[in-house]
Amino acid sequence: MLEHYGITAKFVTDRGISHEIVRHRLASFAQESTRYCNYIKDKFGNEISVIKPQELVKGSFEYIVWKKQCEQAEKAYFKLIDNGVSPETARSVLPTSLKTTIVMTANVREWRHFLNLRAIGTTGKPHPDMQALAINLLNQFKSKIPILFDDIK
């Protein structure tokens, strides 16, 4: 079962965290493409979407600094597109906080490894946003298939 039972999970997170997720070589992935998504289009609400890092408190000075920088990046992205630059090139000014959707499929052995590293932190302290996602997922796995995940603490 550890080898042959596959599980697929969908994460909504930022590009920084998705870079960490795709380092897990025994999983396969499908991710929203910044080459083909054009955030100026109506279906994206004519804006970019960003994920607030959980360490930044809404309304704080640091939060305002972060938000302003994201808004600047959005302006630069739209200016490039308006001037005929393709989304795949204009994306170079988008922030690491850009929202992304990533779907990950792996067998149970690989998910257990992923959760040990990213939720429990067996090899070092995970990024807080990565850890929050992984703990949430671990809790869902524990409630759905406790026999395979209950020992991960």
Ligand X SMILES: Cc1cc2nc3c(=O)[nH]c(=O)nc-3n(C[C@H](O)[C@H](O)[C@H](O)COP(=O)(O)OP(=O)(O)OC[C@H]3O[C@@H](n4cnc5c(N)ncnc54)[C@H](O)[C@@H]3O)c2cc1C
Using CB under 6 A, list all residues that contact ligand X.
Answer: 23-26, 110, 113, 117, 123-124, 126
Helix intervals (H) in the chain:
15-21, 61-82, 87-90, 108-115, 128-144, 146-149
Closer to ligand X by Cβ: residue 23 or 153: 23
For residue 104, the cross-strand partners are 9, 29
**How many residues are there in the chain?**
153
Closer to ligand X by Cβ: residue 22 or 30: 22
Give least dist CB 14 to ligand X, A.
17
- Sort 18 into a burial class: Cβ within 10 Å, 0-12 / 13-18 / 19+: buried
Give least dist CB 152 to ligand X, A.
14
Closer to ligand X by Cβ: residue 84 or 124: 124
Of 15, 91, 112, 118, catalytic: 118
Closer to ligand X by Cβ: residue 95 or 126: 126
Give least dist CB 27 to ligand X, A.
7
Sign of the four-CA dihedral 81, 83, 85, 89: negative
Comparing CA positions, the residue from 102, 140, 110 lying closest to residue 27 is 110
Give least dist CB 22 to ligand X, A.
9
Cα distances from 56 to residues 18, 20, 29, 102, 125, in angstroms, run: 19, 20, 29, 23, 18
Indicate if 35 belongs to the active site: no
Catalytic residues: 118
